[in-house]
Structure 1
Amino acid sequence: MAFRSSIAAALGKSAHWAGETFMHRSPGNLPGVLAMKAAPLVLCDLAKKVDTVVVVSGTNGKTTTTNLVADCLAKAGRPLHCNRDGNNLESGVVTALLVRPEMQHAQGCQEQPVACFECDELYTKYVLPRVKPRFFMLLNLFRDQLDRVGEIDNVQQTIARALEATPDTVFLYNGDDPLCASIADRIPNESMAFGIACDMKLDGDRISDSRFCQKCGAALEYEYVHYGQLGAYRCPECGWRRPELSFAAEHVRMEEDGLVFDIDGHEVRTGQMGTYMIYNTLAAYAASKVSGLVEFDQFEQAVEAYRPTNGRLQTFTLGDRSVMTNLAKNPTGFNQNIRIVLNEGGHVLALFVNDEEADGIDVSWFWDIDFERWSEIEGLKAFVGGSRANDMQVRLKYAGIKADIVKNAADVLERTEAGDGKVYVIANYTALPPLRRELEAMQKEWEN
């Protein structure tokens, strides 16, 4: 490692130690930020020491999928680096490489560490050329934080250029998403698609992103739609269609413990609800398979043991009360949460939305969410919180839903009772962490 990078790494490691020692929590991106101040290209030197198997990106599902992939790779028995907390800018990847690798099954192992990283879509232009992963995985593309990111074509162009700058990286993408598939058509990289190869008999979202041909602009025809613009599509004008799937989930069905699908002659039990968990688990399977490091039984063990701990689909038990939290930061994410609540027969909803820089200041996307479907729930109790609580309250009013403003999760629990059933807390980026910490503290009190 270059001398300047060595100094930068030492500075970053010191910041990480100080954060954990004195703040008693993860310092987030700070160690990476400080290291990059001292050596802007420190990531290049740090990445040379590891075998970066995959970098994961996409609008929704990055953190969950990255953690699933990391759990699978950990089964291979080699030291592992991963930005599990969702710090997905370049500084977050640097931080993950500065800390000691996970050694769950690798005590005394002298093999080269493996790595998988989550990456913000726009930061792929920095991370991919410097990390040079074996695989780059793209989960989906939806409109998200338009005031920061811009329209989807800007994101597509950024990712395509990042892949062109790393020609040896294989592009592993969601073939059910025409917005992802069009990137594969414009880059020289080897590409492999994954997707759901059966009709799940779902009602298509009444509000969705682009369902137009990425070649000629004509309206796409769908054999079936899973959600948003994801499904089996074909252009009636130019013939462009969903690519052949290298990894195809088949015979998807709902069972008591969650969604189940078949692939390559194996049954995979996700243990979770929500169509997007099929995609997240399928993506983890694809990454495990192409890595050459993970056997199916190891993948299966990792998926069965996976329990969300970062607020995404996380369940808290507080005596006789149950609270599920989840992240939603764009219309598609909220619409999937709407579907989960309807499928599970939920009656208590709490939506927390902020407008910090990480969230995006423009909240006009509230009006693209299909809240009207919740208005059909009898006995619904709805609450809103966060800095944009009033805006969300107005949106729900126009959907025919009366919502009260609350300060936190404890306020929601005080205004409801056990007989109302599970409480669904849905929050965006900056609203979710404090809610998670609050519920974790409450759960600890009940356990003690």
Structure 2
Amino acid sequence: MRRFFAILLGRLARFATRLRGGGSAFPGYLVRKVWPRFIEDVSSQWGHGVVFVLGSNGKSTTTHMVSELLRAHGLRVFTNPSGANLPQGIASAMLSEVTLAGKLPADVAVLEVDEAFAVDLARLLSPRTVLMLNCQVDQLYRFYETERVADMMLDASVLASEHIVTNREDPLLSQVQSRLGSKSVPDVSYFGASDSVLAASKHGLLNAPDFRDGAEAARPAALGEVRSFGGREATIAVGGDVVSVELPARGLHYAVDAAAACATARLVLGDGFDTKRVVQAFGSMRPAYGRGEVIPFGDESVEFVMFKNGPSLQLNLDSLSTPPKQVMFALDEGTPDISWIYDVDFDALDHVDVVTGEKSWQVALRLAYAGVPVTTVEPDLEKAIELMRALPAPEHDRKLWFVNYEQMMLARKYLGFADLETRL
């Protein structure tokens, strides 16, 4: 009866919060107050266990990719599509699918997890597989240094019961084997990109360097490796197989995320992994919300390019083959410290039509130093969107909006796409 009451209460709270638009972590907080072992008890039902996805950048995209690959192989997948990656957020996501009897019909869970809570969640959810994407300069106001973030991820990864999948090209995360010592469980697999692909990238993958003492380890073979890449097309070697896939968004970082997803899916599925289903899954895969997502904008369309830090902005800029015809840049207090913007190379842009958000004047100043002309600075997002709407439709192109997470959500809501939880 207590479990029934906890779920009913959480469901009612979830309904109430969604009435005001968007999701909320409060229902998850509430259900765990009444049923403290809610997360542990519900997650123990999944036959293929839990997959964690960790990283400074790319968590939502790669969680989406792994989920779609497993679904293409016939598995029922529970995930946290809105990007709610703290304990209460994951509990709220569970409430969207759990029955009043406490059953959540899924074969496997693929969960994006915040690095700071990864160890605590690993103890709650006992993941079979932990995927670590990258450690990049991010939220220094919160974490202070990248090595600390890497340690959070590494400490969580060694709690996996079966598999660790890590980035061979990341100087910090590729050293996970040293954490395991002589232990053979969990096993460690790698993903990455070929030497030729890395050499062709203007700024590489922008993973944080490892300044700590220690001998450089030999570069291991990768279970998933990007062999070639261009625009939205990539060729990926997965074990002994090679597949050509269409990416949900353009950029080398998406190709590397795809290699990570393929390697992880192969480990989860074992002998059931089928490259034909991989190609089919990528062919029909939509972008994770805000990450290359294209949304109707009157008679036109707008492409959202979300960034959260210097490396993600730089890699998205690097993905542009030609300067976009119409550009809006939106950044607000959701990104408190934007000093990193002076490390970003803006050569991919020849102008910006509108800069908006609470940080708009700081962004405009940086663009001025970079020699990128700005037509209008309008701190109010809704007014900025209307300025973009008033521009004539660009020929053979779409409007491109660079947005941080909070501005992405507000812009989507203004355009009538507020519900993030149904996007995946």
Q: TM-score range by the shorter chain?
A: 0.7 to 0.9
What amino acid maps onto 2:244 in structure 1?
V
Higher relative contact order, chain-length normalized (CA < 8 Å, sep 6+) = 2
What's the counterpart of residue 362 of structure 1? 337
Where in structure 2 are the equivalents of 1:148-159 lying within 5 Å? 148-159=142-153
Contact 2:67 2:110 in 1 (8 A): yes
What amino acid maps onto 1:354 in structure 2?
D
Residue of structure 1 aligned with 2:355, choices 384, 387, 392? 384
**Local SS of the residue matching 2:51:** strand
Residue of structure 2 aligned with 1:254, choices 230, 242, 252? 230
**Local SS of the residue matching 2:131:** strand
Q: How many residues align?
A: 399
Residue of structure 2 aligned with 1:56, choices 53, 56, 60? 53
Q: Distance in 1 between matches of 2:52 and 2:192?
A: 18
What displacement does 1:128 show? Answer: 1.1
Per-residue CA shift, 1:190-238, capped at 9, x if unaligned? 211111124124243299554446543xxxxxxxxxxxxxxxxxxxxx4
Q: Distance in 1 between matches of 2:176 and 2:386?
A: 46
Contact 1:181 1:243 in 2 (8 A): no
Q: Distance in 2 between matches of 1:268 and 1:133?
A: 30
Contact 1:270 1:278 in 2 (8 A): no
**Local SS of the residue matching 1:266:** strand
1:353 matched to 2:331: yes
Q: Distance in 1 between matches of 2:299 and 2:96?
A: 39
**Local SS of the residue matching 2:14:** helix
What's the counterpart of residue 411 of structure 2? 435
Residue of structure 2 aligned with 1:172, choices 145, 161, 165? 165
Q: Distance in 2 between matches of 1:244 and 1:213?
A: 24
What displacement does 1:334 show? Answer: 0.8
What amino acid maps onto 2:279 in structure 1?
E
Is 420-429 or 122-131 further displaced after alignment?
420-429
Query: Which residues of structure 2 form unaligned runs of 5+?
Result: 419-424
What's the counterpart of residue 42 of structure 1? 38
What displacement does 1:322 show? Answer: 3.3
What amino acid maps onto 2:194 in structure 1?
A
Per-residue CA shift, 1:145-191, capped at 9, x if unaligned? 11112211111222232234x25242111111112112332235421
Q: Distance in 2 between matches of 1:145 and 1:269?
A: 32
**Local SS of the residue matching 1:332:** helix
Per-residue CA shift, 1:51-77, capped at 9, x if unaligned? 434111101111111112112222343
Contact 2:50 2:128 in 1 (8 A): yes
1:328 matched to 2:328: no
Q: Distance in 2 between matches of 1:100 and 1:352?
A: 34
What amino acid maps onto 2:134 in structure 1?
N
Calculate the aligned-residue CA RMSD, in Å: 2.8
Contact 1:141 1:179 in 2 (8 A): yes
Q: Distance in 2 between matches of 1:111 and 1:399?
A: 52
TM-score by structure 1 length? 0.81
**Local SS of the residue matching 2:85:** coil
1:31 matched to 2:27: yes
Change over 3 Å in CA distance of 1:318–1:75 after alignment to 2? same
Q: Distance in 1 between matches of 2:205 and 2:135?
A: 15
What's the counterpart of residue 297 of structure 1? 276
Query: Which residues of structure 1 form unaligned runs of 5+?
Result: 103-108, 217-237, 443-448
Q: Distance in 1 between matches of 2:298 and 2:2?
A: 53
Change over 3 Å in CA distance of 1:326–1:18 after alignment to 2? same
Contact 2:164 2:188 in 1 (8 A): yes
What displacement does 1:399 show? Answer: 1.1
Q: Distance in 2 between matches of 1:382 and 1:374?
A: 14
**Local SS of the residue matching 1:249:** strand
What's the counterpart of residue 401 of structure 1? 372
Q: Distance in 1 between matches of 2:224 and 2:291?
A: 25
**Local SS of the residue matching 2:328:** strand
What's the counterpart of residue 193 of structure 2? 196
Where in structure 2 are the equivalents of 1:39-438 lying within 5 Å? 39-51=35-47, 52-100=49-97, 113-164=107-158, 166=159, 168-187=161-180, 188=183, 189-200=186-197, 201-205=199-203, 208=206, 210-212=208-210, 214-216=212-214, 238-250=215-227, 252-254=228-230, 258-263=232-237, 264-271=240-247, 272-292=249-269, 294-308=273-287, 310-318=289-297, 321-341=300-320, 343-356=321-334, 359=335, 361-371=336-346, 373-374=347-348, 377=350, 380-403=351-374, 404-406=376-378, 407-408=380-381, 410-414=385-389, 416-419=391-394, 421-438=397-414
4+ runs deviating over 6 angstroms: none
What amino acid maps onto 1:281 in structure 2?
A
What displacement does 1:40 show? Answer: 4.2
What amino acid maps onto 1:179 in structure 2?
L
Contact 1:101 1:113 in 2 (8 A): no
What displacement does 1:391 show? Answer: 1.2
Q: Distance in 2 between matches of 1:81 and 1:437?
A: 25
What's the counterpart of residue 106 of structure 1? none
Q: Distance in 2 between matches of 1:209 and 1:285?
A: 20
What amino acid maps onto 1:160 in structure 2?
L
Contact 2:42 2:104 in 1 (8 A): no
Change over 3 Å in CA distance of 1:355–1:242 after alignment to 2? farther
What displacement does 1:425 show? Answer: 0.5
**Local SS of the residue matching 2:415:** helix
What displacement does 1:285 show? Answer: 1.0
Change over 3 Å in CA distance of 1:417–1:115 after alignment to 2? same
Q: Distance in 2 between matches of 1:111 and 1:16?
A: 19
Contact 2:66 2:265 in 1 (8 A): yes
What displacement does 1:133 show? Answer: 1.3
What displacement does 1:419 show? Answer: 3.5
